[in-house]
Amino acid sequence: MRGMAWAAAAFFAGAAMAGEADPERPAYWGSPSVDGGKCCATLSEVRANIDRIDRTILAAMAERGRYVAEAGRFKKDPAAVSDPARVAAIVARVGRLAEAEGLAPEVAQKTWAAMIAAFEDYEREAWRKAHPANP
């Protein structure tokens, strides 16, 4: 039985590896459409641009995080960090902005909702660290 399990695992591992795209081979269909068709002839180009954009997003998130920590100075306690009405307004605004930029509003809204939740946790923790005598 162990031999069959090993063979099945090897088969599925090989099938998964076979499904991996060669980052230098041409696309299976379509032609480049980003940057007026100048990008992307290979998956490597796509990934390099995604990595570049990720660095930009992370830099913006780090800046946002500094302001989130600053906002904590205006909160009387960790419970004051959450403002559901403000979160709803931000998520709605982001949805409208996303649509204007050609991004599916749902993607932006889900991303922002998750980011805000994570930053709220961060802000509560920063507040607690700044006030160790208070829970």
Question: Domain locations in the chain?
Answer: 23-74, 77-135
The band of 15, judged by pLDDT with boundaries at 50, 70 and 90, is: very low
The structure's pTM equals: 0.74
Contact predicate 44/23, CB 8 Å: yes
User: Which residue type, as a one-letter code, is found at position 4?
Assistant: M
Kindly report which listed range (7-21, 32-46, 86-100) carries the lowest average pLDDT score: 7-21
Q: What is the pLDDT of residues 75-104, one digit of tens each?
A: 888 889 999 999 999 999 999 999 999 999
Q: Rounded to an integer, what distance in angstroms lies between the CA atom of residue 124 and that of residue 77?
A: 8
